[in-house]
Structure 1
Amino acid sequence: MAREKFQTLTEQMFYILLALQEERCGADIMALVAQITQNRVTIGPGTLYNLLEDFLSAGMIMQTKVEGRRRSYVLTQQGKDRLLMEKRRLELMLADYRHMTAEPSQELRQGSAG
């Protein structure tokens, strides 16, 4: 059975949507993702523009400006909802990890430190 295209997001997908909470062009998206991940996640132009097309087709982002070859995008409500769903999915996975490894949550560690 084929999985739905955006059932789960790759790191690149996640960070592109995260970057598009504000209007940005492709070059700005790539720079921001590199900056916030300290170069742990990089997105090449081919990957970026393919994903932007996929997100446009899915209604998760919309194009806001075209200035020559420079195009800007921003999240739609559907994109915001999908980003929030992914955040919740990742939090559940982290909670499962903590449960199975008996690792205390960050909140518990901070509370016991004071």
Structure 2
Amino acid sequence: MELFTKNVIKVIKNIPSGHVMSYGQIARIAGNPRSARQVVRILHSMSKKHDLPWHRVINAKGEIGIQDEELFFTQKSRLENEGVQFKGKNRVDIEAYRYSPDCEDSM
């Protein structure tokens, strides 16, 4: 497994309940700020295997980006159960709920 992939998994595993991070934020902390799409791929392919809290990862606008209706509602419900409040259908106040670890602490 590549170092970047290991770092992404570690960052995602450390997102606490009731908080979110964006794909780009995770990529930056994991060591490659231009790899937000790679974070999406890692989440898609490794969430079950590594028991990742995938529902805590949203886009930079604070929106759930999943198009599949069932997965969308699963993600939204899990976040709401953790105390995350939504503005409208799919947007959270990313500044209020963003988890911002120190880069050294997360790696």
TM over 0.5: no
Greater share of residues in helix: 1
* TM-score between both structures, scaled by the size of structure 1: 0.38
Higher RCO (CA 8 Å, separation ≥ 6 residues): 2
Q: Which has the larger radius of gyration?
A: 1
Greater share of residues in strand: 1
* TM-score between both structures, scaled by the size of structure 2: 0.40
